[in-house]
Each structure stands twice: as C-alpha cells, then as structure tokens.
A and B are shown apart, each in its own frame.
With several copies, the nearest count.
Chain A
C-alpha cells in the first residue's frame, strides 16, 4: 500500500487530495511555487517542498523539479490532480522511470485519449459516434480556414493537447477565424505545452453529458453514472449536476451513454479514474467529445450520489488493489449540484478578479459540502486558474438540492474580490434552470432575458452601508486602514532585527 503521496498540484484540488490521504493514514506532500507559500494546500499538508518561481512552466509544469521533490521526500506515489501535468503522458512515464507510482492511467492510455485527434479516430473506429471535424491538428490558419469553409460555420477550434476550455474558441464566420486561431494556439501552448489545434463542427447549444468511469488493474471497469455540465461560459463548466436532467427526459439515455463510456474505457485499456465526455442534443442523441484521463473538477457530485470517495478509489487502484465496489453494488441516491466559485466578475464578462480575500464565510449544514482552497486574508494569485472553491449540495431530489443550494449561496460571502457566487444566486431562481431546461447556450440566453427583480429595499440598505462604511472606515483620508497580514509579518521581522 502507498505510504506517502506527493501532490503535484495546488489550491482546492491539492487540499481535496490531502483530505483523503489523511483519512487513509497516508502522508501527504505539498509542492509550492513562490506564489503559493501561503496557500491552503501548503498549510494543510504534512510535508512541503518549494519547486520554483510563480510561472507554472517553472514550477507546477516542471517535471524534473517535481520528481526531484518526490525523491527528496521519499514519496512512493504522485497524485497529479487536474490541469498542469495530469494529462501529460511524458510525466507519467518519467514517474514510472523514477520508480514513483503515477496515480492515473497508463501513459499509453493517456497518449491515446490525451490527443483529442487520436481519440476521435479511435472512437470512430470503435463505432462510437463523434462530432464531425478533423482528426489531425491544423498546420496553420490557412488550413483552418479551408477546413472551416468545407464543414461550414459555426466551427469550434479546440486544443489537441488538453481540455478544460483552454485553447478553445467558437468561430461564427470566416473573418474571425484568423485571430481566434492565433489566440487559441497561444492559450494551448501555455496551458498544455502543445499549440496543436483541431476543428469541429460546432453543435449549437448542445447538452454536455459525461460519464465517470473507474477501472482497476485487474480488468474491472465500472461507471458511476453520468453528470450534466451544460452550464458553461467561455466553453468552461460553471455548474455541474448528477444525475443529468436530460436523462429524466430520455430514460434510455443512461444505459446507452454509460455503456458507450465503459466501451471507450475498455478500448483504451484504461485504468484509474477517467471521464468520457459527450455532447447530446435535445432528442437524446449523443456524440463522443473527448476523454479526460484524470480526476475531474466536478467529481464531488458523483461522490455525493454514490457515497464513494473517488480519490480513495484512485489510490486503491494505484496500489494494485481492486475497486471497492462492483458495478451492481454501486448505489446511487438523490441529486447533487456543484457550483464552481471562480475569482471572476460575472457582471464584467467573467473577467478574472484576483486579490486579497478580506472576509470569507463558507456555508455548511445538511447536504452541503465546500471543497475550498481559500481562507480569509489569503490573496488569490494572478498566475493560476481562478477556481478558488466548489460548493456542492445534495438532497433526495433535484428540487430539494436547488433549495439547499439557495440556502448555501445566501450564507456564502467572499469579500475583497469578485466571485461567480452572485451569478449562481440568480441562476437558482431562474425558471428554466429549475425546470432542467439547460444547454451550453443557457448563460448567453439568460443574460438577455435576465430578470431584474425589485430590490429597492436592498438598494436602500446598500446606500446606507456604503455611506456608513465611507464615514467609519477612514476612507476620507485614503484607502481603509487595514493591517495587511503580510506587511504585518515584515514589520514583525523588523522588530527581530532591532
């Protein structure tokens, strides 16, 4: 059994992995860049190793430094989290070479599925329906233009090297293609170290359905049901749930889509946790999109309805053990919804809003879980993904879960930065959302029809609070006096030197 795990990641997902390590009695090792000395995963881990400057390429993406760290602390396994090196087959191979177990699938399976273009070819051969488009990377903008002209606009440009919305652009017409292609390449290069872009016919306003699979090294492959992740902005998920509301409309869909996912995992010789993503239309037809060869951001919704700890299953599998459950023993119960709390301003096109968190209250209570990397006084660094926490709720029914979500969102306050919480507070009151009428075009349409309820009472309170704050916080003489925790540390150290 694994004794010590180095977590090659940061923030909320590193905290998430530390929690399961500690519950299992496994030592956890955090790594951190210059930007993350004060981050929660560093505070909570048993051990920690500095791995480089703030830039991810020199720290969290630096394979050599991470393996050096694993060697130095004697870790016998590495959990990659999501993002960063989690889908990097070369990293998995380097781990194997260094004698450290990579907690994830084999490099071969990652290569096959990690290349979105190769995966599309493989799925097409295996008889799984795929979205029309290229199965090779595009050489340049000209080839992109030619291909787009052939399959017809709108098209989707996508990074061959990774998912998560990075390096992805929806292009409506030919004149926007050139700059979109260059931006997508730039993002893809930076996010995945691979600038390759391919093209797909854009399916207008599809539903995004995905299936969690889990496979051990003894040939057992199971699925843990589907998730629906149709609420997206910038092609990135913001809210996920399980079961999929679409399945309520098309009951046959669950059996079909989970079977396709298990087939896909088997065809790839897959082990450990993975997610097979599909686009589906309103009629319940579905198309293979890609497979994410790692733990997903949204894995908690599956944990909430199955009662399983997916990180624990990952560690068991990596230790050579069998999955703790067979397919027929997986018991699903109730409904779970996750909201991604991004440091972004939903009133300003979801632009990033890094900075210091001056006040923080996270909700809890029945059916409420928060997977967070944040704490009061912490400054969200500008260098990394703006996801600071995830709010997950569970109840017996979808309506019940939405009720609990409303209650939890009311309690959740983050001061000092903007977050997506305000957006979710409106979404949970939205009639279409509550009825499960969601697809990837939801947010765009919602913006248009967005209800403006009468909040004159709250407006009066807002004026009163702003005036009170203005007068009592000394703002007249400049910014509110506030003992900055890091400056405080410095002045404290000055005292030591005296």
Chain B
C-alpha cells in the first residue's frame, strides 16, 4: 500500500507491506529507502517498534482530517497520511484553499463573540472567547480579513475541532 505522508512539514512517500501475516516484521520503503521494522501493538494506538536495533515506544493520537500526532519515545511529530483514493475523493489540493476557519481547540463553552459577520479583523485580533477547564481563552484571527458566518452563539457548548467562525 503506497501512502503520501507529511512529517513535521516535509512530504515523504511510504510504502508498507507485511512479510507474513503471523509475523510482527513489516517491510517498508520510505523515500526510496527500503527497510524492515518489528511492530507490535502494546495498547490502543500504542506500539513497540524496533528498527535498526533501536527500541521505540510510540503512541498515535488520531487527529482530524487524516492528521496524526505521533509520539516517539515521548517526543511529538505531526504526520499527515493520505492514500491516493482518499485524496482524490476529498477534493485533492483544491480543498486546502479557501476561507480560514477558526476552530475550537478543545471542548468548551462559548463565552462571548467579539466580532460580527462582516467585520474587518486584523491578524492576531481576538474574535471569540471560549471557556474550558475553568479558563477563558481568547481565540485570535490567524490572518487579516472579513468575518464570515458565525457558526456559534454565546452560551453554546462546542466540541474540539468544531468550526466557530471563518475569516474570508
């Protein structure tokens, strides 16, 4: 199975194949370099991986949109994985363009909207206050633009990753 991946911002091609079904050895080719690794699961989304004589403890956090945060021996790496079929179905690179959405970084409650649809905002300007775990967090516009649709109102409960509003 051939996959396109991005790790910490760098794109790489990964091809994986199991040697035998009952074995824990996996063959892979990563950016044209072939290798083998011994991978066993040690928990839900946790693995012990051996490669080149070194032992790695790995946990995989399933993020939104095919992105993963992978902790290797305690240090986090951002990885995106796409296979051809999925990538095309999702609209390909075109889907990455468009409005910049401001999403809730964690589950919480909307305390206050600091802007209205149509307002001009500057990069770094506070647009909405979300409260979670006894803390009020002011979310800021990542870029200058015009406020698009407000997806939430004050008092709403929001889930992690839920779109709050967009800047066009």
Point out residues on A near B: beta carbons under 8 Å: 30, 37-38, 42-49, 56, 72-73, 166, 179, 183, 186-187, 190-191, 234, 343, 345, 347-348, 351-355, 358-359, 361, 375-378, 382-386, 409-410, 412-418, 421-422, 425, 455, 457-471, 473, 475-476, 479-480, 482, 485-486, 488-490, 492-494, 496-497
Contact status B62-A480, CB under 8 Å: yes
Q: In the complex, what residues of A have CB within 8 A of residue B59's CB?
A: 359, 413-415
Q: Report the bound CA distance from A485 to B41 in whole Å.
A: 6
The contact of B45 among A383, A412, A473, A494, by CB within 8 Å, is A473
Q: In the complex, what residues of A have CB within 8 A of residue B83's CB?
A: 470, 476
Q: In the complex, what residues of A have CB within 8 A of residue B8's CB?
A: 459
Q: In the complex, what residues of B have CB within 8 A of residue A457's CB?
A: 54
Residue pairs across A and B with Cβ atoms less than 8 A apart, 18 shown, are A37-B40, A43-B55, A44-B55, A166-B134, A353-B105, A376-B43, A413-B59, A461-B37, A462-B72, A464-B49, A466-B68, A467-B5, A476-B83, A486-B41, A488-B41, A490-B21, A493-B23, A494-B21
Most chain A beta carbons < 10 A, residue from B3, B48, B83, B135:
B135
Contact status A37-B45, CB under 8 Å: no
- Known contacts A352-B132, A497-B21; 8 additional CB pairs below 8 A are A44-B55, A422-B74, A464-B37, A465-B39, A471-B3, A489-B40, A490-B22, A496-B1
The contact of B62 among A351, A422, A425, A479, by CB within 8 Å, is A479
The contact of B77 among A355, A462, A489, by CB within 8 Å, is A462
Contact status B74-A410, CB under 8 Å: yes
- Number of B interface residues, CB 8 Å? 74
Contact status B81-A458, CB under 8 Å: no
Most chain A beta carbons < 10 A, residue from B30, B38, B77:
B77
Tell me whether A345 and B105 are in contact in the complex, defined as CB-CB below 8 angstroms, given that A191-B134, A458-B75, A467-B3 are known contacts. yes
Stretch at the interface among B10-18, B94-102, B116-124, B146-154: B10-18
Most chain B beta carbons < 10 A, residue from A73, A421, A482, A489:
A489
Q: Report the bound CA distance from A471 to B70 in whole Å.
A: 15
Q: Report the bound CA distance from A492 to B41 in whole Å.
A: 10
Nearest CB to that of B160 among chain A residues? Answer: A355
State the total of A-B contacts with C-beta under 8 angstroms.
242
- Top 9 closest pairs, chain A to chain B, by CB: A462-B77, A493-B18, A359-B43, A466-B79, A462-B70, A496-B18, A458-B72, A352-B133, A415-B59
Most chain B beta carbons < 10 A, residue from A234, A412, A466, A482:
A466
Contact status B55-A358, CB under 8 Å: no
Q: Mark B60-100, 1 if CB is under 8 A from A, else 0.
A: 11100010111111111101010100100000000000000
Tell me whether A37 and B21 are in contact in the complex, defined as CB-CB below 8 angstroms, given that A352-B132, A461-B51 are known contacts. no
Q: In the complex, what residues of B have CB within 8 A of residue A461's CB?
A: 37, 49, 51, 56, 58, 72
The contact of B46 among A187, A347, A359, by CB within 8 Å, is A359
B20 to chain A, nearest CB (A): 8
Nearest CB to that of B70 among chain A residues? Answer: A462
Q: Report the bound CA distance from A37 to B49 in whole Å.
A: 10
Q: Report the bound CA distance from A416 to B59 in whole Å.
A: 9
Nearest CB to that of A72 among chain B residues? Answer: B53
**What DSSP secondary structure best describes chain B's contact surface?**
strand
B87 to chain A, nearest CB (A): 12
Tell me whether A415 and B57 are in contact in the complex, defined as CB-CB below 8 angstroms, given that A37-B38, A421-B74, A467-B5 are known contacts. no
Q: Report the bound CA distance from A45 to B55 in whole Å.
A: 6
Contact status A496-B44, CB under 8 Å: no
Q: Report the bound CA distance from A334 to B30 in whole Å.
A: 48
Q: Report the bound CA distance from A146 to B79 in whole Å.
A: 50
Contact status A465-B47, CB under 8 Å: yes
The contact of B30 among A44, A49, A382, A463, by CB within 8 Å, is A463
Nearest CB to that of B59 among chain A residues? Answer: A415
Q: Is B145 an interface residue (CB 8 A)?
A: no
Nearest CB to that of B82 among chain A residues? Answer: A470
Nearest CB to that of B76 among chain A residues? Answer: A422
Q: In the complex, what residues of B have CB within 8 A of residue A466's CB?
A: 5, 7, 60, 68, 70, 79, 81
Q: In the complex, what residues of B have CB within 8 A of residue A465's CB?
A: 39, 47, 49, 58, 60, 70, 72
Contact status B75-A455, CB under 8 Å: yes
Contact status A42-B57, CB under 8 Å: no
Tell me whether A469 and B136 are in contact in the complex, defined as CB-CB below 8 angstroms, given that A410-B73, A496-B18 are known contacts. no
B122 to chain A, nearest CB (A): 14
15-33 of chain B: CB within 8 A of chain A: 16-18, 20-24, 26, 28, 30
Q: Report the bound CA distance from A187 to B129 in whole Å.
A: 12
Nearest CB to that of A475 among chain B residues? Answer: B62
Contact status A413-B74, CB under 8 Å: yes
A411 to chain B, nearest CB (A): 8
Q: In the complex, what residues of A have CB within 8 A of residue B105's CB?
A: 345, 348, 351-353
Q: In the complex, what residues of A have CB within 8 A of residue B71's CB?
A: 413, 422
The contact of A383 among B30, B38, B111, B133, by CB within 8 Å, is B133
Q: Report the bound CA distance from A296 to B133 in whole Å.
A: 19
Tell me whether A497 and B17 are in contact in the complex, defined as CB-CB below 8 angstroms, given that A415-B46, A463-B79, A466-B70 are known contacts. yes
Nearest CB to that of A453 among chain B residues? Answer: B75
Contact status B24-A37, CB under 8 Å: yes
Q: Report the bound CA distance from A458 to B43 in whole Å.
A: 20
Contact status B16-A43, CB under 8 Å: no
Q: Is B142 an interface residue (CB 8 A)?
A: no
